[in-house]
Structure formats: structure tokens, C-alpha cells
Amino acid sequence: MELLTKELVARTATGIKLKDITEGKVLSVKWEPNLKYAWDNGPAIGRYLSELKQGKIIARKCHKCHRIMLPPRMFCELCWRPTDEWVYVKDTGIVNTWVVSYVDWKATRLDIKGGVRPYTPAIIEIDGASKGMGILHHLNEVDPWKIHRDMKVKAVWEMPGKRIGAITDIKYFKPI
């Protein structure tokens, strides 16, 4: 079958040369698409982002395993069943892990000699969520070299009128 296909292509295919294109013998269209990326947040992340816009953090609870999951999800991956209820959690937590980074979120090298502070992204375990549950965000108002595991932190929120329903509605976390 494969041999037959190759033979068929060899007998019917016509090679195109660059010269044919540049001389206009081959129809070509130059087009730059205006593509927009969009996706549906779904019920869990949609509600989560909506609550962030209100200055609140919400999670989902599974009554079978008693976990409070953050970010919220509609299905418990441990129990293999739908989660049961929405639960508000605090905007405080502890640092689980972090890194001192000399590149920004766009992977651009930071000008440390020019006085720019390194970024300190961290996994924050949010108070009220189950152990190990949290969000990736960054720390500020702290010497990067004084960050430590289990450091208590609090969310610093964007002003209410500037919130857009995104994780950036929390500007950063700071020590408390």
C-alpha cells in the first residue's frame, strides 16, 4: 500500500520552483491572520476569577476526602467524583517553595546592576485550603535572601476599580 501511494504521488505530483512563484505562474496569497486566543474558563476557574475581582479567594471542597482545593476544580482527582461545595479561604498563607529569579515573567534578563530587584515567584499555601494546596504568585516587600519556608504572607490586592478578574488582581504577597 505504501509503495502504491509513493508511486501515485511520483506520477501525479508536479514540482513547483521558486521562479514559478516569483514570475506569477503560481497563484499565491500573502495574508497575515488576525488571530485572537480565547478560551472558556469553565465553572471552577470562572468563579475563582470572578471572586478575585471582588477581593476574595474561593476554593472547592470534597466531602468524601475532606480536601479544600485551590485552585478550585469541579472534580476531585483523588476520589474520582464531583466536588461538593464552594468555600471561601483567607488571603493569607505560608511560603511553600520559592526561587530568586534574575529574569522576569517574559524571560527577559533583569538589570540587577541598575537597581532592579530580582523576582521571587513562590508557591503560597493559602490558609483555609488543604495542606499542599495553593497558588503560584510572587513575593514583594521582602529581601529575597530572607524568604524562608513557612514564612507567613498576606495578599496585597489591586485597588477595587482596577481589578479585572485575573490572578493579577492580587498584586503580590508580602510577609506579615
Does any domain span residue 16?
Answer: no
Its pTM stands at 0.75
Q: How far apart are alpha carbons 172 and 108 in whole angstroms?
A: 20
Reply yes or no on whether the pLDDT at 112 is more than 90.
Answer: no
Cβ-count burial of 118 within 10 angstroms (0-12 exposed, 13-18 middle, 19+ buried)? Answer: middle
pLDDT, average across residues 101-120: 85
Question: In total, how many domains does the chain have?
Answer: 1
Q: pLDDT digit string (tens) for 119-150?
A: 899 999 999 999 999 899 999 999 999 999 99
What length does the chain have?
176
Q: What is the pLDDT of residue 127?
A: 98
Does any domain span residue 28?
Answer: no
Segments forming the whole domain that contains residue 78: 42-175
Higher pLDDT, 66 or 13: 66
Does any domain span residue 29?
Answer: no
Does any domain span residue 59?
Answer: yes
Does any domain span residue 78?
Answer: yes
